[in-house]
Structure 1
């Protein structure tokens, strides 16, 4: 799905993966679920691209619903996979800390679970090798992606700002569709290690001035990054 010139998405509002298309090649943000592989190939074909044009994959964090086809892309096609060192162990299969009790609505949970199973969520292959993506770095990949530390959802959560597409990719730093309740709109993401820290981290995004805010779960937001951050902060206050 083409969102804007040079900006594509596969998956849907339940789990999303993004592609940045430049003359230098393609950068992928997050790897969704294993079953998104066929969608990746189809989208590349639509773009007039092949796997050989993919120069790198950046993971916003190490949770399994963002790892999907990452190891396959790295192992079978030589594509480097970048992640913050704080989440490297999680991406390699390390344990995730327990989180507080989550608010749930049965219909939304069933929708998320059914989609995850249908897209191979039980077939996730953890990574065996990664490259580091640290706060403040600009990676030598198509689109010159800039790494912004976003700790809270996990220790090594990051956002990726790509000026050429006027977008910041936030992973689970925030969500625009809560997978456990079905509620739409910018809000805190579930399964967050340190909720207060996650909200505070979002302020680092405002300086980008990005139009697009692209989460791992939920509809793309093109109302500007500051408005999205304020909406999440408001939602967090109202939930207390």
Structure 2
């Protein structure tokens, strides 16, 4: 799905991954669920490009609904998969997440069942953990199309990051926040469920405020948000 020139989404408001199309090829941001592989291939066909045009994958964190097809793509094409060093073990399946008590409160059967059904339909049970990753750190600018910059946002997970791509005026935030709680069905800016350290997750959002050039805030779950970044942190806290 084309969002803007050179900016595409794979998936939907339940689970999403993204493509940045720039000089020199394509950067994938997050890899959704295993079954999003077909969505990736369809999007590439619509763009008249192939898997060989992908130069790398940048993961916002290591949860299973964000690493879906990353290992398959890495094995098939040899592209690097980047993730913050603090989440590398999670993406490699050697460390499990430990969400804070109460971070999944308010669950409603309908929305939760839809999330589970969608995840199963997209082969979430077939997640393949990464066997090789390239660790990154806060402030790194990656040698990939669009020159994505890593912004550390620990809280949802120790290595949760945002990915800033100025060329497409986009900020990919993973689960640092959400605009659709997959467990409650509630929409709008708010914290993500299943967060390791909810207080830290809210606090670190202030690091995004200076990014005045951003027009697209793109979460892993929910609709894109097009408001000013200066209002982002306050909006999420108000929605907590």
Which TM-score band applies after superposition, normalised by the shorter structure? Answer: over 0.9
> Aligned equivalents of 2:187 and 2:156: distance in 1?
19
Answer yes or no: is the 8 Å Cα contact 2:100–2:198 preserved in 1: no
1:180 Cα deviation from its structure 2 partner: 0.5
Candidates 216, 225, 229, aligned match of 1:212: 216
Match of 1:223 among 220, 227, 231: 227
Give the alignment of 1:182-201 within 5 angstroms.
182-201=185-204
Query: Which structure 1 residue ranges, 5 or more long, are not aligned?
Result: none
**1:6 maps to what in 2?**
6
- Other-structure match for 1:49: 49
Which blocks of at least 5 consecutive residues in structure 2 are unaligned? none
CA contact (8 A) 2:88 2:133 kept: yes
What is the 5 A alignment of 1:65-76? Answer: 65-76=65-76
Which SS does the other structure have where 1:66 is aligned? coil
Alpha-carbon distance in 2 for matches of 1:98, 1:204? 22
SS in structure 2 of the partner of residue 82 of structure 1: strand
TM-score, normalised by the number of residues in structure 1 = 0.97
For residues 163-194 of structure 1, give each alpha carbon's deviation from its aligned partner in whole angstroms, at most 9, with x where no partner exists: 00101100000000000000000100000000
Aligned residue-pair number: 236
Alignment root-mean-square deviation, CA: 0.8
Judge conservation of contact 2:59–2:82 (CA < 8 Å) in 1: yes
CA offsets 1:130-188 (integer angstroms, 9 cap, x no match): 00121001000000000000000000000000000101100000000000000000100
Give the superposition deviation at 1:235. 1.5
Match 1:151 to one of 140, 151, 154: 154
In the TM superposition, what whole-angstrom CA distance separates every residue of 1:16-55 from its partner, at most 9, and x where no partner exists?
0000001210000000000000000010111121101000
TM-score normalised per structure 2:
0.97
Cα separation, 2, equivalents of 1:43 and 1:183: 28
Give me the whole-angstrom Cα distance separating, in 1, the residues matched to 2:80 and 2:72.
11
CA distance in 2 between counterparts of 1:27 and 1:21 reads 7
2:218 match: secondary structure = strand
Question: Which residue number corresponds to residue 139 of structure 1?
Answer: 142
How does 1:79-98 map onto structure 2 within 5 Å? 79-93=79-93, 94-98=95-99
* 2:209–2:232 contact (8 Å) kept in structure 1: no
Residue from 116, 119, 128 that aligns with 2:119: 116
Runs of 4+ in structure 1 deviating by more than 6 angstroms, as ranges, are none
